[in-house]
Amino acid sequence: MGTGKPAGTIHTTDLDSPSMPTTELPVVYLDLAIGERALGRVEILLRRDVCPKTAENFRALCTGEKGKSKSGGKPLRFKGSPFHRIIPGFMAQGGDFAFGTGAGGESIYGKKFKDENFKLKHGKAGIVSMANGGKNSNSSQFFFTLAERPELDGKHVVFGKVWKGMDVVRKLEKQGTPEGKPKSVVVIADCGELDPVTFEEPPEEDE
């Protein structure tokens, strides 16, 4: 599924090898806005090779292809939902399409699903990770790290990273406060899936 954007290839091995294995990873986008003012697009590389179930949940919530929530009847999609908690230097959290407050949200698998693994780390700004209410309580809520946050390792499932648009994430960060209440309502005005990226080797965490 794509929007006409050419797929990218990360060259890490000899391109002349005829039997070279490849890893194709999904890329999704979030278009952020404050009211009618667009902040820009954030493109996210989803680590389906490490966390396939968690990555698929996020991908499908970007496209809206799973229809409506079984519990609340709302579309299973991020479009129109806000970033309800933004703390500069820490994280920006969104994904509650039910209430927009952090009190709701639902996965494509049901209300909650289990932690998949903790293989990927919160090692820099721009990591995309699942918000939760404790162990095995993942739904649709997620966050961008705004700095390295190793204290979150082993507690939150990392499933992707900002691929393009970190400058937009920094604009989002500027709307934050120490208490977490945003200065302005930043919403996901649109979201969806772009063409995947093909790696000739699985990407390193710091690529």
204: DSSP letter: P
Strand 8-10 to 186-199 pairing: parallel
Beta bridge partners of 41: 31
Q: What is the end-to-end Cα distance of the chain in Å, rounded?
A: 24
What residues are labeled active site? Answer: 85, 90, 93, 132, 143, 152, 156
186: left (phi over 0), alpha (psi -120 to 50) or beta: beta
Helix (H, G, I), strand (E, B) or coil at 188: strand
Residue entry with tokens 């990392």:
158
47 close to 57: Cβ distance less than 8 angstroms: no
Instruction: Name the CA radius of gyration of the chain, rounded.
Output: 17
